[in-house]
């Protein structure tokens, strides 16, 4: 499978087709022009649709407005979902919502969809919930997402000494990773749609790409214990990240205070080479970084001078000789 080089997104259509959990209407997820995601309806004529509700697709990315070539447009599904309450809709859009409501009621009568009031919660409780922390950071270990029990700079080594005491060293190193904005992993169901809508489909994670560093973080060992013999370890605290379970810890903004210190720079002014020679041709500013002989000319002026000398010799040879 290959993506066209002109495509503006890597979201495959096969994995972006879904049904609304509220009403069962088919929808398609698209990447928006502002790096967010939006569920859209199939294409409809743009004329009866109000301008603020119009969306069109160009190279796989959703943009506001109607398609200038076909005159078609798409509508954001939350704006016409019959399971939600809508006010001040135009008559044409109200008729569309009523038609979708009839389809929703037919699916409910056929047993294919539960009414919104009877739908079970999609976020099952954890069997052994861990103690909640006020702030937990998500770590990307070579594109594998793990969530720490605390902030990334407070993660401790899990190595135990002879007395069973845990190592006091931390794992964090400012030079091993960086903060990076990535897409929120897709989660099916109503809760996943709400999470995508609330976060805009983007989140900030601490990314580590070098293989040796990712291995150390996976084992949750500090630099002193990494690569050496470890008698015993505490339970690994970096658990796989799940948007449905850890949605409250998704960071919408880049955390402050993790900037790398700037290296000391030499502010001396460079005055150029000490020994240089300027071209002897009047009006030429070319120069050589070496000390050349007197009368030195650059290659451009030398070529012009040789051409002039050759033309002068040809002119002299063409003059008639005196008797």
SS (H, E, C) 208-253: ECCHHHHHHHHHCCCCCCCCCCCCEECCCCCEECCCCCCHHHCCCC
Q: Does position 317 have pLDDT exceeding 90, yes or no?
A: no
Rounded to whole angstroms, how far apart are CA atoms 5 and 182? 21
Q: Measuring CA to CA, which residue among 275, 306, 280, 246 is closest to residue 123?
A: 246
pLDDT of residue 107: 84
Please indicate whether residue 284 or residue 272 has the higher confidence score (pLDDT): 284
Rounded to whole angstroms, how far apart are CA atoms 32 and 23? 23
Q: Does position 263 have pLDDT exceeding 80, yes or no?
A: no
Q: Is 0.85 surpassed by the pTM of this model? A: no
Q: Measuring CA to CA, which residue among 155, 171, 150 is closest to residue 249?
A: 150
Average pLDDT in the chain: 81
pLDDT per residue as tens digits for the range 221-262: 888 888 776 668 888 899 999 888 888 899 988 888 776 655
Q: Report the run of H or E that residue 62 belongs to, with start and end.
A: strand 61-64
Question: pLDDT category, 56, cuts 50, 70, 90?
Answer: very high
Q: Measuring CA to CA, which residue among 101, 106, 10, 113 is closest to residue 60?
A: 10
Question: Helix, strand or coil for residue 111?
Answer: coil
How many residues are there in the chain? 323
What single-letter DSSP state applies at residue 298?
-
- 88-112: average pLDDT: 86
pLDDT of residue 123: 41
Question: What is the sign, positive or negative, of the torsion defined by CA atoms of 195, 196, 200, 203?
Answer: positive
Rounded to whole angstroms, how far apart are CA atoms 42 and 20? 13
In angstroms, the Cα distances linking 32 to 56, 61, 190, 311 are: 10, 5, 20, 67
pLDDT of residue 116: 60
Q: Does position 313 have pLDDT exceeding 90, yes or no?
A: no
Rounded to whole angstroms, how far apart are CA atoms 298 and 302? 6
pLDDT per residue as tens digits for the range 160-198: 887 788 888 899 988 888 899 999 888 777 777 788 888
Backbone angles phi, psi at 71, to 5 degrees: 75, 15
Which residues contact residue 185 at a Cβ distance below 8 angstroms, ignoring those fewer than 6 apart?
Answer: 145, 241, 243
């Amino acid at each position: 499978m290959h993506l066209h080089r002109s495509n503006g997104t890597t979201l495959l259509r096969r994995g972006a087709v879904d049904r609304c959990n509220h009403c069962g209407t088919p929808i398609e997820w698209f990447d928006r022009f502002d790096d967010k995601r939006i569920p859209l309806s199939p294409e409809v004529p743009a004329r009866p649709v109000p301008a603020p509700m119009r969306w069109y697709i160009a190279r796989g990315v959703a943009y506001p407005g109607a398609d200038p070539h076909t005159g078609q447009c798409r509508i954001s599904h939350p704006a016409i979902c019959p399971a939600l309450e809508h006010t001040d809709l135009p008559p044409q859009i109200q008729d569309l919502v009523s038609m979708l409501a009839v389809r929703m009621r037919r699916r409910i009568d056929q047993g294919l969809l539960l009414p919104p009031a009877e739908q079970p919660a999609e976020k099952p409780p954890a069997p052994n919930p861990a103690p909640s922390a006020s702030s937990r950071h998500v770590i990307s270990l070579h594109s594998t997402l793990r969530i720490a029990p605390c902030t990334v700079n407070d993660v401790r080594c899990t190595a135990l000494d002879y007395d069973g005491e845990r190592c006091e060293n931390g794992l964090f190193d400012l030079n091993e990773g960086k903060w990076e904005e990535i897409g929120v992993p897709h989660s099916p169901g109503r809760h996943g749609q709400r999470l995508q809508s609330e976060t805009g489909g983007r989140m900030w994670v601490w990314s580590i790409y070098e293989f040796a560093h990712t291995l150390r973080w996976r084992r949750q060992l500090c630099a002193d214990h990494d690569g050496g013999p470890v008698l015993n370890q505490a339970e690994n605290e970096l658990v796989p990240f799940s948007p449905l379970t850890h949605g409250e810890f998704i960071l919408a903004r880049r955390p402050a205070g993790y900037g790398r210190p700037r290296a000391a720079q030499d502010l001396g002014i460079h005055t150029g080479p000490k020994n240089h020679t300027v071209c002897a041709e009047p009006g030429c500013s070319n120069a050589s970084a070496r000390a050349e002989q007197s009368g030195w000319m650059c290659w451009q002026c030398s070529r012009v001078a040789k051409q002039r000398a050759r033309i002068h010799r040809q002119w002299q040879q063409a003059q008639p000789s005196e008797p």
